């Protein structure tokens, strides 16, 4: 056991928001400059999963939990091959990781992957600011020779915005691969990778599903080439309004009546495929404590969220869509945001949140069983 | 689906007297629940024998019974009130056990009372070790995680011996079933220890059952607080991690929220297991708490236990998160679901979520080992702490150091000056968990210990160990700095250093550090506890300080009154003071002020965010209070700070606050000094022409001896400026006086020893009164049952006084007025008098709310603390009478002759403590207070009221059977009449030879029994101690033999505690008990609510 000495990490760092608010702290992770959309995440556990979730691509994540890095980094809790956040904001980073599975410190990992971060700032003040003003562009600048504030602000304002960003292709796999079923294989699923997390195919594999993960650019023929019992559309970064290709692909799947399940970005794509609009939330839902009601059972589940956009569908009635009747199946009780859609005449449903739950509670794991049931029903 | 419509009335059972393991947190929970139920339009019937609670305020419930919480009395209440339902989950183990008894004996069925909040099966599954093990196995099948420690259930000592072999030898953990606060449990390292601990455990367990368990000492320990509604929605409200690893009771551990050293995967395993357990146990609605041990080597998870009710931890979790568990539990019990209940703090989001924290909470226990010098101070799985402080910071170090200084004990903050001592010796010291181990760890670090060495000695998680190193490194930086710069101060403050610590390290005065800090603009901001890490706007001003950037205190228009609370509970300063602070807040809010509460005790009603307009969860030190005053002055006008209601803690700050320009309302610091300083108070008495016992002050043995020689032995000796009679002793001879002076380490010219003539055979009287500068309102006169010399907090007392006449009351009134006027009181004053011969001596005066204020208020149906708060801010007694807050005519000295009699009885924590040999500690009462709580018995006559007080405190007085009598010579005369009465009631008397002889000569037959020192007789005749252990004695009267011959009595008294046999240690108590037994044997003892008593009293007053 070693204790890092004080004095390290005294390199100054500045966080500059596009509206000009500035926070001064210390460098964390890599030293340099980075830009992205500032969002806050309220989970108290699971930073490793958050950092490696491709949906955070091009986002600077502010952790509301003050202590981050306490359990280090291990080789088992990665949700993808790398850290995707474009910047990381924490208040009190751990100096010493402590966990029997830890192999290295978070600080080292961030630096090794070139992720620029900042520590020691009033993350609550920043969170309140984002809550009141909405998610916005941000830059983190660290090092001993920092540009003046005007220059930094100008650079932040030149960074691209999240609205209108088409990012799936940047994070998705380029080659198809297979996640084998655990135990007896019962089904085959084609999973369209728009930024998929590792836990999602794992949750399916646990249920006897062989998962063929396909690139975001996959076409109908690629999907049906694997002879799927069901098709899955994953989570992923960016503005769903730009996702024309996945929307077209999903429509083709819906037409064929193949059982379909979507998560997060996948939910927004289903929304669009059904003809609903999507919109950007003021500051999004990012955390692992969100109450969602399953409107079919009335039960409340505590769920993991990571979404800045949402589907605009009526809560109070069944809608007619080109694919038959559709209804909002799940809703967030905090703000009545649409959290799930289901078709009543075809075997398709999706949720806006993360039943694979890495990080987060396992309350919504039943949705994978629902998917299995749909596939079983289709066979019968 | 909303509220149930088939329930119109609910009986809520409280937790009774404050004892170790069951304290003020149940007043907090119960008060919340009663308010919720009432607000839902239900009729609330409450039973709680503890008068010092907010929940027993007449306005909290519709019918409030201050009656013993025993199945017999609760049945009487049920028969009278006929409630539809019983809510048993809010009054700790006491309420749960009582409810189970009422179910078991058919009372609930007989009267058609539905148990809500938890069903009997669930309670049994949660509490019964065997059944719970099955639950855990079931859960493991479902979730793949969680297991029980390997264990063995025993119902006899033979089972116990078999069990050790089965488990593979020592050490093993012994856990008795169905006891609260882990009473009677412990680690056994060998057979001798095992026989002792298990033997006692079998006795303590109501089902004669103990569990032996594999040792998981040194594992990481966690708790989850969960809630479930009738639709099977479950949320985890809070996770708590113990800083002290397994082996120390969670109530005695430093604990941290949220958990700091779990990855999400590991946390979710605990969550999954926790949810599966609450479902499997079948807690239909409400909260539960589940404890886990996690092996730091491989993450193996062991489920230790669950409590299917609100608990101390749930109170802590509520304060830590802002999610009010008891309040929500009450709503769930009457039919709501979590998603139907709004989150109080955001008002817009529902309660069906899991709070997320953007701060760290640390709780630290407060112990009272100094009160029990012979007790073993090693911390074990039996809880021994008497209170706790909680602190909130934006990181662990800030919260941790704030928590340590909140404990408000000398040496509770880390010190970084002086020689730390020998590293190896310190590390060895750190192996044994004790109160203050954390200081040994810090000194070991200062002495050069490595993190690995600290971990090896303590098994404290390496992340926490590093935080200790971080604190130490900052102390080094301060020590090495040439001056206090803004950067350095900011850094130190961000890690929780107090001005006092910085001053000590840098060799400056605390006030100098503060001036420098203020000059540099380094000041705290206040953040909001909002349940959601700022995701939503908070509507509730529940604040904590942090050295961060943005302040969240909103400006206000109304003038604020800042009320300083009493800090962690300790013996001598407990819930009674919180009661007064809460009343002040209510009264001042009604009077149009914005009330601001400052306190750091998570168990209390005062730290409920619903109690005051603003709550600052902060340490009660000068620095912290000054910063709050500053912050509130920035926010709007501040009318003043109330210091006289929270006990000695705020009182001790009053002069310094005033010196710093803070407006103190009520009794001035100078007046406080006039009452506390011997010389000044002597002048007040002289001016009023009042006698005090002869006395003097000494700083050496020579001086003390000279005083004692002049005034005569016995003398009462004590340090100056203490609360709860700390260090107070009655000294009968010169030898002991010399020893006392030698043992008193803190004597100095500024802290002399007070030597008073001890008034033997005097009647002690307590008076609570209000004074507004013109008029005196005599709140109540309490006559102690025990003679003077036993601390007033430990003595039983009666109100109205039972043997004092009108003339005595008149003298008391005159004396009280003289002192109140002479001292300059504006508000409450408590005076202790002793009536010896025909002289009324003044023992001491405290110009503040006393421990007896809630008792007096309830006994006389007058809210004294509310009145005191109003007087502090300028109202007169005449105005308060006109307003109706005080009675229009008369006062507590003019109670009608047929007013009900209230008896207060103290509750002692003897059974909690063992000496290092594992023997009980002696139970003799003395001038040093050692009780943790109190009960009240109220009835129309003294005997019944006394019997009720005993039933509430220790269990019912016996009405037949065998009474053992052994008294000191000086008590022999006064024993004869009560002994005769016992015989008349059919008791068989047992006595030691000397006492038997005296009885015989007075025509009373007593069977002679062998003393312990005589050993078993030739024909196997048992000694008295053996008889007690064998359950053959029903009542014990044993008064201590002065300074000598205590040992035999010691064995008798500790045996009485071990077997829970009523044991009277004064003849006055015997006389009262005889009256009680008489009342119990003559006809049925009835129950009456406080509201009925008050109605009667009010009618009689007019």
Residues of B in contact with A128 (CB under 8 A): 534, 550
Query: Are the beta carbons of A65 and B339 separated by less than 8 Å?
Result: no
pLDDT in tens, A141-183: 999 889 999 999 999 999 999 888 899 999 999 999 999 999 9
A89-114: average pLDDT: 96
Q: Which of B233, B264, B466 sits opposite A46 (nearest CB)?
A: B264
pLDDT at position B1046: 42
Q: Which of A46, A97, A300 sits opposite B233 (nearest CB)?
A: A300
pLDDT at position B1043: 41
**Torsion angle, CA of B651/B654/B656/B657, rounded to 10 degrees?**
130
The pLDDT of residue B764 is above 60: yes
**Torsion angle, CA of B41/B47/B50/B51, rounded to 10 degrees?**
60
> Hey, is the C-beta of A281 within 8 angstroms of any chain B C-beta?
no
Give, for A92, the enclosing helix (H) or strand (E). Answer: strand A92-93
Q: A132 an active-site residue?
A: no
The pLDDT of residue A3 is above 60: no
Which residue, among B754, B751, B699, has the nearest Cα to B730 in the 3D structure? Answer: B754
**Is B819 within 8 Å of B688 (Cβ atoms)?**
yes
Which residue, among B157, B168, B167, has the nearest Cα to B192 in the 3D structure? Answer: B157
CATH class of A168-379: alpha beta
Q: Which residue has the higher pLDDT, B654 or A380?
A: B654
Task: Of A35-49, B120-134, B202-216, B736-750, give the lowest mean pLDDT range.
Answer: B736-750
Interface residue of A6, A24, A98, A359 to substitute, partner B, most B CBs within 10 Å = A98
Tell me how many degrees the CA angle B570-B575-B580 measures, rounded to the nearest 5: 130
Query: Are the beta carbons of B394 and A362 separated by less than 8 Å?
Result: no
The pLDDT of residue B59 is above 90: yes
Q: How many Å apart are CA B1012 and CA B1030, to the nearest integer?
A: 14
Closest residue of A to B454, CA-based? A1
Q: Is B80 exposed, middle or buried (0-12, 13-18, 19+ CB in 10 A)?
A: middle
pLDDT in tens, B986-1006: 999 999 888 899 999 999 999
B158-166: average pLDDT: 92
Catalytic residue among A37, A49, A264, A285: A264
- Is residue B1015 very low, low, confident or very high in pLDDT (cuts 50, 70, 90)? confident
For every residue of B432-462, DSSP letters joined together read S-BTTHHHHHHHHHHTT--HHHHHHHH---H
The pLDDT of residue A4 is above 50: no
B771-775: average pLDDT: 97
Closest residue of A to B455, CA-based? A1
pLDDT in tens, B374-405: 889 999 888 999 999 999 999 999 999 999 99
Residues of A in contact with B461 (CB under 8 A): 98
pLDDT at position B360: 98
Residues of B in contact with A12 (CB under 8 A): none
Q: How many Å apart are CA B196 and CA B198, to the nearest integer?
A: 6
Task: Of B279-283, B741-745, B886-890, give the lowest mean pLDDT range.
Answer: B741-745
pLDDT in tens, A186-240: 999 999 999 999 999 999 999 999 999 999 999 999 999 999 999 999 999 999 9
The distance of B548 to chain A (nearest Cα, Å) reads 6
Q: Which of A3, A288, A358 sits opposite B466 (nearest CB)?
A: A3
Beta bridge partners of B1023: B1010
Q: Which of A42, A92, A98 sits opposite B461 (nearest CB)?
A: A98
Task: Of A94-98, B163-167, B513-517, give the lowest mean pLDDT range.
Answer: B163-167
> Hey, is the C-beta of A317 within 8 angstroms of any chain B C-beta?
no
Q: A356 an active-site residue?
A: yes
pLDDT in tens, B899-909: 999 999 999 88
**Is B1093 within 8 Å of B900 (Cβ atoms)?**
yes
Interface residue of B234, B265, B546, B552 to substitute, partner A, most A CBs within 10 Å = B265
Query: What is the rounded average pLDDT for all residues in chain B?
Result: 92
pLDDT at position B149: 87
Residues of B in contact with A95 (CB under 8 A): 466, 470
pLDDT at position B722: 62
Place of tokens 């003071």: B577
A65-94: average pLDDT: 97
Residues spanned by CATH 3.50.30.20 within chain A? Answer: 9-158
Residues of B in contact with A74 (CB under 8 A): 263
Place of tokens 């539960």: B288
CB atoms within 10 A of CB B41: 9
Q: How many Å apart are CA B271 and CA A97, to the nearest integer?
A: 22
Query: Are the beta carbons of B264 and A43 separated by less than 8 Å?
Result: yes
- Is residue B746 very low, low, confident or very high in pLDDT (cuts 50, 70, 90)? low
pLDDT at position A9: 62
**Is B319 within 8 Å of B390 (Cβ atoms)?**
yes
Task: Enumerate residues 82 to 121 of chain A having a beta carbon within 8 A of any beta carbon in chain B.
Answer: 91-92, 94-101, 121
pLDDT in tens, A259-313: 999 999 999 999 999 999 999 999 999 999 999 999 999 999 999 999 999 999 9
The pLDDT of residue B427 is above 70: yes
Query: Are the beta carbons of B463 and A101 separated by less than 8 Å?
Result: no
Beta bridge partners of A310: A279
The pLDDT of residue B1050 is above 90: no
Task: Report residue B929: phi and psi, to 5°.
Answer: -75, 135
Q: A206 an active-site residue?
A: no
Residues of A in contact with B236 (CB under 8 A): 302
Q: Structural domains in chain B?
A: 9-118 (3.40.50.20), 150-215 (3.30.1490.20), 395-519 (1.10.1030.10), 525-661 (3.40.50.20), 956-1081 (3.40.50.1380)
Helix axes B510-519, B622-635, angle to 10 degrees: 30
Q: Which of B339, B356, B452 sits opposite A300 (nearest CB)?
A: B339
Q: How many CB pairs under 8 A join A and B?
A: 184
Query: Are the beta carbons of A46 and B235 separated by less than 8 Å?
Result: no
Task: Enumerate residues 188 to 217 of chain A having a beta carbon within 8 A of any beta carbon in chain B.
Answer: none
Interface residue of B233, B243, B256, B263 to substitute, partner A, most A CBs within 10 Å = B263
pLDDT at position B379: 93
B923-928: average pLDDT: 80
The distance of B451 to chain A (nearest Cα, Å) reads 7
Task: Enumerate residues 129 to 158 of chain A having a beta carbon within 8 A of any beta carbon in chain B.
Answer: 131
Task: Enumerate residues 9 to 68 of chain A having a beta carbon within 8 A of any beta carbon in chain B.
Answer: 23, 40, 42-46, 48-49, 64-67
pLDDT at position B912: 81
For every residue of A139-182, DSSP letters joined together read EEEESSSPPPHHHHHHHHHHSPPSTT---HHHHS-SS-EEEPPS
Query: Are the beta carbons of B272 and A362 separated by less than 8 Å?
Result: yes
The distance of A128 to chain B (nearest Cα, Å) reads 6
Interface residue of B458, B491, B533 to substitute, partner A, most A CBs within 10 Å = B533
Topology of the domain covering A9-158: Glucose Oxidase; domain 1 (3.50.30)
Residues spanned by CATH 3.40.50.880 within chain A? Answer: 168-379
Closest residue of B to A70, CA-based? B261
pLDDT at position B1057: 81
Closest residue of A to B472, CA-based? A6
- The count of residues in chain A is 380
pLDDT at position B920: 75
């Amino acid at each position: 056991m070693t204790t890092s000495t004080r004095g390290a990490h005294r390199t100054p760092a500045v966080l500059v928001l596009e509206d000009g608010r500035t926070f001064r702290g210390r460098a964390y992770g890599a030293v340099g400059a980075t830009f992205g959309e500032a969002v806050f995440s309220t989970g108290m556990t699971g930073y490793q999963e958050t950092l490696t979730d491709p949906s955070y691509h091009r986002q600077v994540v502010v952790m509301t939990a003050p202590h981050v890095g306490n359990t280090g980094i291990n080789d088992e809790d990665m949700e993808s091959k790398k850290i995707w956040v474009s910047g990381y904001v924490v208040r009190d980073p751990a100096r010493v990781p402590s966990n029997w599975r830890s192999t290295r410190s978070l600080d080292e990992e961030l630096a090794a992957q070139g992720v620029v971060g900042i520590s020691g700032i009033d993350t609550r003040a920043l969170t309140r600011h984002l809550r009141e003003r909405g998610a916005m562009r941000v830059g983190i600048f660290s090092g001993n020779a920092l540009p003046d504030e005007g220059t930094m602000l100008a650079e932040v304002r030149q960074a691209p915005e999240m609205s209108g960003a088409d990012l799936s292709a940047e994070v998705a796999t380029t080659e198809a691969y297979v996640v084998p079923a655990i135990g007896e294989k019962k089904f085959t699923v084609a999973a369209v990778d728009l930024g998929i997390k590792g836990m999602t195919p794992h949750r399916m594999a646990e249920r006897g599903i062989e998962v063929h993960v396909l690139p975001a650019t996959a076409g109908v023929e690629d999907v049906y080439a694997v002879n799927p019992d069901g098709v899955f559309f994953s989570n992923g970064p960016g503005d769903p309004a730009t996702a024309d290709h996945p929307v077209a692909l999903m429509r083709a799947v819906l037409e064929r009546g193949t059982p379909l399940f979507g998560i997060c970005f996948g939910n927004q794509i289903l929304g669009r495929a059904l003809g609903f609009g999507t919109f950007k939330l003021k500051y999004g839902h990012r955390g692992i404590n969100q109450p969602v009601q399953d409107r079919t059972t009335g039960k409340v589940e505590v769920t993991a969220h990571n979404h800045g956009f949402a589907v605009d569908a009526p809560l109070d009635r069944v809608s007619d869509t080109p694919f038959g009747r559709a209804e909002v199946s799940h809703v967030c009780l905090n703000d009545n945001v649409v959290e799930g859609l289901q078709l009543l005449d075809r075997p398709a449903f999706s949720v806006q949140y993360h039943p694979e739950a890495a990080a987060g509670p396992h309350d919504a794991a039943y949705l994978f069983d629902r998917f299995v049931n749909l596939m079983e029903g289709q066979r019968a | 689906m909303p509220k149930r419509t088939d329930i119109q009335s609910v009986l809520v059972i409280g937790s009774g007297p404050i004892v170790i393991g069951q304290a003020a947190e149940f007043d907090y929970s119960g008060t919340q629940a009663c308010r919720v139920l009432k607000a839902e339009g239900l009729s609330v019937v409450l039973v709680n024998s503890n008068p010092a609670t907010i929940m027993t305020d007449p306005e909290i419930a519709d019918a409030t019974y201050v009656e013993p919480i025993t199945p017999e009395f609760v049945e009487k209440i049920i028969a009278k009130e006929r409630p539809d339902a019983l809510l048993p989950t809010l009054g700790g183990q006491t309420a749960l056990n009582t409810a189970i008894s009422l179910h078991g004996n058919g009372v609930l069925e007989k009267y058609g009372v539905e148990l809500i909040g938890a069903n009997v099966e669930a309670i049994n599954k949660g509490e019964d070790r065997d059944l719970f093990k099955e639950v855990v196995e079931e859960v493991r099948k479902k979730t793949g995680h969680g297991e029980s420690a390997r264990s063995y259930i025993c119902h006899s000592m033979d089972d116990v011996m078999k069990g050790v072999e089965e488990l593979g030898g020592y050490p093993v953990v012994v856990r008795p079933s169905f006891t609260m606060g882990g009473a009677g449990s412990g680690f056994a390292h060998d057979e001798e220890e095992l026989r002792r601990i298990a033997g006692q455990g079998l006795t303590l367990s109501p089902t004669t059952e103990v569990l032996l368990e594999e040792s998981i000492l040194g594992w990481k320990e966690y708790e989850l607080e969960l809630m479930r509604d009738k639709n099977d929605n479950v949320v985890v409200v809070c996770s708590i991690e113990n800083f002290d690893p397994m082996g120390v009771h969670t109530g005695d551990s430093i604990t941290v929220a949220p958990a700091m050293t779990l990855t999400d995967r590991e946390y979710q395993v605990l969550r999954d297991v926790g949810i599966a357990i609450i479902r499997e146990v079948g807690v239909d609605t409400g909260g539960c708490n589940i404890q886990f041990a996690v092996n730091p080597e491989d993450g193996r998870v062991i489920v230790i236990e669950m409590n299917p009710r609100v608990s101390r931890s749930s109170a802590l979790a509520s304060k830590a998160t802002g999610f009010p568990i008891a309040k929500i539990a009450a709503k769930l019990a009457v039919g709501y679901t979590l998603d139907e209940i709004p989150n109080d703090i955001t008002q817009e989001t529902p309660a069906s979520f899991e709070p997320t924290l953007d701060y760290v909470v640390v709780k630290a226990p407060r112990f009272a080992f100094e009160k029990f010098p012979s007790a073993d101070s090693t911390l074990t799985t039996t809880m021994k702490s008497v209170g706790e402080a909680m602190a909130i910071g934006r990181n662990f170090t800030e919260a941790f150091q704030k928590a340590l200084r909140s404990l408000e004990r000398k040496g509770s903050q880390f010190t970084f000056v002086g020689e730390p001592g020998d590293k190896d010796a310190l590390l060895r010291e750190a192996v044994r968990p004790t109160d203050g181990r954390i200081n040994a760890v810090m000194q070991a670090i200062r002495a050069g210990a490595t993190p690995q060495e600290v971990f090896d000695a303590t098994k404290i998680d390496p992340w926490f160990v590093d935080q200790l190193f971080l604190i130490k490194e900052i102390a080094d930086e301060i020590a090495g700095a040439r001056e206090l710069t803004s950067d350095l101060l900011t850094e130190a403050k961000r890690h929780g250093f107090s001005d006092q610590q910085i001053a000590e390290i840098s060799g400056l005065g605390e006030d100098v550090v503060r001036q420098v800090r203020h000059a540099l603009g380094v000041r705290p901001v206040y953040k909001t506890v909002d349940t959601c890490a700022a995701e939503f706007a908070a509507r509730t001003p529940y604040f904590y300080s942090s050295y961060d950037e943005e302040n969240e205190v909103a400006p206000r228009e109304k003038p604020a009154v800042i009320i300083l609370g009493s800090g962690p509970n300790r013996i001598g300063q407990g819930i009674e003071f919180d009661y007064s602070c809460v009343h002040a807040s209510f009264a001042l809010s009604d009077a149009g002020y914005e009330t601001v509460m400052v306190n750091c005790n998570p168990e209390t009603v005062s730290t409920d965010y619903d109690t005051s307009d603003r709550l600052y969860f902060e340490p009660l030190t000068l620095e912290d209070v000054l910063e709050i005053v500053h912050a509130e002055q920035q926010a709007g006008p501040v009318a003043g700070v109330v210091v006289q209601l929270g006990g000695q803690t705020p009182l001790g700050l009053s002069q310094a606050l005033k010196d710093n320009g803070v407006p103190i309302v009520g009794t001035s610091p100078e007046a406080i000094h006039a009452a506390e300083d011997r010389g000044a108070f002597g002048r007040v008495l002289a001016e009023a022409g009042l006698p005090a016992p002869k006395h003097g002050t000494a700083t050496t043995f020579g001086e003390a001896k000279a005083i004692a020689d002049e005034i005569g032995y016995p003398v009462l000796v004590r340090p100056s400026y203490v609360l709860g009679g700390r260090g107070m002793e009655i000294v009968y001879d010169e030898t002991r006086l010399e020893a006392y002076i030698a043992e008193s380490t803190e004597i100095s010219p500024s802290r002399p020893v007070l030597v008073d003539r001890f008034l033997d055979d005097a009647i002690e009287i307590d008076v609570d009164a209000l004074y507004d500068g013109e008029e005196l309102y005599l709140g109540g006169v309490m006559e102690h049952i025990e003679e003077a010399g036993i601390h007033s907090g430990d003595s039983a007392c009666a109100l109205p006084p039972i043997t004092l006449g009108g003339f005595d009351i008149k003298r008391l009134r005159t004396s009280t007025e003289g002192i109140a006027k002479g001292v300059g009181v504006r508000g409450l004053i408590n005076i202790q008098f002793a009536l010896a011969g025909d002289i009324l001596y003044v023992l001491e005066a405290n110009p503040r709310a006393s421990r007896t204020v809630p008792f007096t208020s309830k006994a006389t149906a007058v809210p004294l603390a509310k009145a005191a708060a109003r007087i502090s801010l300028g109202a007169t007694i005449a105005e308060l009478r006109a307003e109706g807050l005080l009675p229009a005519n008369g006062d507590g000295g003019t109670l009608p002759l047929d007013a009900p009699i209230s008896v207060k009885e103290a509750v002692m924590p003897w059974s909690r403590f063992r000496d290092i040999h594992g023997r009980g500690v002696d139970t003799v009462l003395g001038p040093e207070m050692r009780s943790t709580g109190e009960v009240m018995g109220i009835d129309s006559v003294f005997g019944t009221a006394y019997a009720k007080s005993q039933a509430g405190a220790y269990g019912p007085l016996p009405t037949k059977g065998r009474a053992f009598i052994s008294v000191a010579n000086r008590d022999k005369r006064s024993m004869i009449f009560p002994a005769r009465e016992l015989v008349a009631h059919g008791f068989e008397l047992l006595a030691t030879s000397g006492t038997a002889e005296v009885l015989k000569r007075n025509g009373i037959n007593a069977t002679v029994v062998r003393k312990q020192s005589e050993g078993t007789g030739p024909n196997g005749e048992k000694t008295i101690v053996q008889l007690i252990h064998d359950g053959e004695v029903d009542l014990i009267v044993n008064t201590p033999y002065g300074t000598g011959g205590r040992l035999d009595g010691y064995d008798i008294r500790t045996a009485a505690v071990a077997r829970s046999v009523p044991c009277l240690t004064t003849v006055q108590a015997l006389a009262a008990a005889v009256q009680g037994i008489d009342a119990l044997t003559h006809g049925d003892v009835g129950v009456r609510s406080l509201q009925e008593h008050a109605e009667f009293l009010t009618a009689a007053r007019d």
